[in-house]
Every structure is written in C-alpha cells, then in structure tokens.
Amino acid sequence: MSAIGVGQAVILGVVEGVTEFLPVSSTGHLKLAEGLMNIKVDDDAVVGFTAVIQVGAIAAVFVYFFKDIMRFVGAWLRGLANRGERDNHDYKFTWWVIYSTIPIVIVGLAAKPLIDGPLGSLWVVAFSLIGGSIVMWAAEQMARFKRGEQDVTLKDAMYVGSSQILALLFPGFSRSGATISTGLIRDLDRLAATRLSFFLGLPALTGAGLYELKDATGGGVSATALGVGTLVSFVVAYGSIAWLLRFVARHSFNSFVIYRIVVGFLIIGLLVTNVVDA
C-alpha cells in the first residue's frame, strides 16, 4: 500500500506550493497536514516525497525568473571565457550563489539523521514557528531598506545563504523567513531581500529534491502520487511567487509574523490534546 495516496498528494502539493516561498514554513505546514491525515511523518518515503515535491515549487522559480536566470548564466559563461567580463555584477553574483550554498550542503549531509529524526518532531516545528516569528519581527525593526538588488555583496549572499541552515535544523523556522529576515538585517529592501531568497534557494532545494528521490520512489510512494504532487506544487507555487512579489512591494512582513504565532500555538494545542502525533 502506498504511503501517500493520490488525493493526499494533491493536498500536500497545494500546501507545498502555497507555503514554500512564503515566510511561514512549508515543512511545518506539510508535517501538520501529514499528521492530520495520519501519514507517518518520519517514514523515509514520506520525507522523500516532501523533498521531491519541493522540486515542483523550485521549478516554478526557474520558470518565473527564467529571464533573470538566463542573464546570470550568460554573464557567468562570458566571465569564464573572458577576464574583461568578470567585473559584471551578474557574473560575481552567480559565483556568490554557488559559494553561499556550500554551508547548507555540508550541514545537511552531516546532520541528516537528526533532521529526519528528532528534529522532525511537530514540537520542534511549533516552537520554531514561534521563535522564527520573533526573528522576523526583530528584522523588520532593524531594517533600513536602503540597498537594492544591485547593491548585494558577497558578504550579503554568504550571510543570507548560511541562514538557510536555521530552517534546515529547525523545521518550522522557514527557509524564506530566515533568508528574507537576514537580508533585511543586512539593510536590503524587502523586494531585494525576497528576490535574493528565491535565487539562493535554487541550488539547495533542487539538490535536496534530487537527493531524496530514491527514498520517495523506493519506499512506498507511487510514481503517480509523486508526479501529481509535484505538478500541483509547481502550479500553485507559481501563483504564490507572483503574489508574494506584489505583496512585499507595498507591505511589511508583520502579518506573516502574527500568522506564524497563531499556527505555532495551534500545533501545540493539537499535540497537547493528542489530535496529532508529534
């Protein structure tokens, strides 16, 4: 029997697509949804399924930002071939994306047993949601919004890229919440911090999905469920990206802070009353 049915895959694909790039923790919402549907959150196949449908969401980033990505890749290739092109900000930025991915790869591989085991508990998710909300609120207070995307430096990229480790170790913290908050603390404006979060997430999320593919397909999830979940995730994530970029141009992230706190305490309530299993 499949660990995840097609209907469940649709629901999880919607949850993933909506929450992957919003600063609310896709992992936390997926674990909560899985718990409410009595899906074993610590099953290797389920963990693998979750990582693979993220590839659907990350594919939406590739499509949405296709022109930007081609500009970065083109500048990078020209810089490799011609020294005179290496002062181009896009060339340097592409290298910075690569450099800033290294810390999360090292930590992810080293801490995988903890991440898939005790750190995957819904208790960790609940308190990480609340703790991450405090960080997001503090970042809003500290931010001066005085630098745009062309002002991003290697130091910015390394700080923002390394902050993804918080979400890796503490599911519920939110990768986008951690990266956007770090960008704001570095005085980037909201749009620049959000776009940087998208670009820095491309290698890490794609790599995680491909790495987990063997567990998802070999551990009890049907290819149909996997394909459906990934497709739904892609479609919903594309809409979510477009909405978020419009939202951050005019609003603070405080509404997400409030939402995260509410969900965190909701999960605690569900755990205390044994409605869901940690």
111-143 pLDDT tens trace: 888 877 788 788 999 999 999 999 999 999 999
CA distances from 165 to 20, 40, 67, 96, 192 (A): 16, 24, 28, 17, 20
Among 180, 182, 207, CA closest to 195 = 180
Q: How confident is the model at residue 217 (pLDDT cuts 50, 70, 90)?
A: low
Give the whole-angstrom CA distance, residue 91 versus residue 236: 31
In this predicted structure, what is the pLDDT of residue 210?
Answer: 76
Mean pLDDT of the chain: 89
Structural domain spans, the chain:
6-272
Q: In the structure encoding, which two tokens stand for residue 104, read together?
A: 């999360």
Q: In the structure encoding, which two tokens stand for residue 23, read together?
A: 């600063």
Residue type, 102: I
Note whether 241 and 107 are within 8 A (CB): no
Note whether 96 and 154 are within 8 A (CB): yes
- Give yes or no for residue 40 having a pLDDT over 70: yes
In this predicted structure, what is the pLDDT of residue 205?
Answer: 80
Residue 154 has a CB neighbour count (10 Å cut-off) of 13
In 3-state terms, what secondary structure has residue 152? coil
- Give yes or no for residue 218 having a pLDDT over 60: no
Q: Burial level of 213, CB count in 10 A (0-12/13-18/19+)?
A: middle
Dihedral, CA atoms, 86, 88, 92, 93, nearest 10 degrees?
A: -160
- Give yes or no for residue 17 having a pLDDT over 90: yes
**Structure confidence by residue, pLDDT tens digits, 145-169:** 999 999 999 999 999 999 999 988 9
Q: Burial level of 125, CB count in 10 A (0-12/13-18/19+)?
A: buried
CA distances from 278 to 108, 112, 125 (A): 22, 19, 9
In this predicted structure, what is the pLDDT of residue 117?
Answer: 75
- Give yes or no for residue 42 having a pLDDT over 80: no
Q: How many CA atoms lie within 13 A of 216 on its CB side?
A: 25
Look up residue 120 and give its DSSP letter: G
In 3-state terms, what secondary structure has residue 188? strand
Give the whole-angstrom CA distance, residue 256 versus residue 278: 24
In this predicted structure, what is the pLDDT of residue 171?
Answer: 85
